[in-house]
Structure 1
Amino acid sequence: MTDTNVETEKPMKKASKLPLILGLVLALVGGGGGFFAVYTGMLFGNEPTDTASTESQDTPYDALPDVGYVALAPFIVSLTSDGTASLLRFSTQLEVPSEHLEEVERVKPRIVDVLNGYLRALSAEDIESPDALVQLRAQMLRRVQIVTGAERVRDLLVMEFVLS
């Protein structure tokens, strides 16, 4: 009986790894091809135009805007917060279109007054947060634009901002 059992049992065949390897290779090739098509703009991209590329080669740089700068005298403002006083040293320049330089120079005392009043109203806690300079700059630019007119001052550049 033992002889018949041995003859009837056949060794199990291992499953072929060819379909697994073939599937993995096709997935990698398909993924790479899809990435290439999207990355180069063949799919979901804008059609490149020849005129845009030749125009950018003809003009290497855009002309800088015709602006001037009006420097304001440095401010030293005392900040009060819970009885302790801190000092803020602040200096700024205004970016002004060249045609409005003289007009902004004439109202410079009013600009200094507005900025000084705003800075005196601040406490040390208002200035110590990480995004405080961005908010303060926007607030001061808006106040300056109200005094001078929105088209006369383009930007307020903070040159010095020291809290001690």
Structure 2
Amino acid sequence: MTDATADAEEAPPKRGKMPLVIGLVLGLAGAGAGYFLMAGGSEKETAKVEKTSDDIAFVPIQSMTIPIGTAENARYLRFSAQLEVSPSYADEVEKKMPRVVDVLNTYLRSVTLAELEDPSALLTLRAQMRRRIDLVVGGELVRDLLVMEFVVS
């Protein structure tokens, strides 16, 4: 009698496969829902990009060559960019371009060669230039600063 009791106690109770099936069904349903949400969102975003792509104007900033460093080891930064604006604001931004060039020229002259050698320098400089442009032109007029040329020689 002790052997029969020991065998009954050692055998674990048999579990059904129902939790596994429920988990599988819920996982597939979640994956399908995620796919459809992402696919629907990308179509809406594509439509948004197509809608706004006709509503863009670019105002060029004249090319600048700026000396960096001392006279003994003079290096030069060649910089050119464009401002992305709404077509209705293009003329207003164009009128303020001398101030934009002045602000950028003043800022870029204060940048050191060590700052330019940093791999993330362009991101930092671009953010600083954009901030200064927004102060001069107005934050609501300029959408973005597009750097076309940034060469240190």
What's the TM-score, normalizing by structure 1? 0.67
Q: Is residue 52 of structure 2 the alignment partner of residue 64 of structure 1? A: yes
What's the TM-score, normalizing by structure 2? 0.71
Q: Is residue 112 of structure 2 the alignment partner of residue 123 of structure 1? A: yes
Residue in structure 2 matched with residue 134 of structure 1 by the alignment: 123
C-alpha spacing 1:159/1:60, structure 2 compared with 1 (3 Å): closer
Tell whether the 8 Å contact from 1:69 to 1:93 is kept in structure 2 after alignment: yes
Residue in structure 2 matched with residue 22 of structure 1 by the alignment: none
How far the C-alpha of 1:39 sits from its partner, in A, is 5.7
Larger helix fraction of residues: 2
C-alpha spacing 1:36/1:90, structure 2 compared with 1 (3 Å): farther
Q: Which residue of the other structure, out of 97, 121, 125, is the alignment partner of 2:86?
A: 97
> Which structure 2 residues correspond to residues 152-163 of structure 1 after superposition, within 5 A?
152-163=141-152
> Secondary structure of the residue that 2:119 maps to in structure 1?
coil
> Which deviates the most, 112-121 or 63-72?
63-72
How far the C-alpha of 1:61 sits from its partner, in A, is 2.8
Count of matched residue positions in the alignment of Structure 1 and Structure 2 = 131
After TM superposition, what 4+ stretches of structure 1 lie above 6 angstroms from structure 2? none
Q: How many Å separate the matches in 1 of 2:92 and 2:69? A: 34
Structure 2: runs of 5 or more not aligned: 1-10, 12-16
Superposition RMSD in Å = 3.4
Bigger-Rg structure (1/2):
1
What fraction of aligned residue pairs are identical, expressed as a percent? 41
Structure 1: runs of 5 or more not aligned: 1-18, 20-25
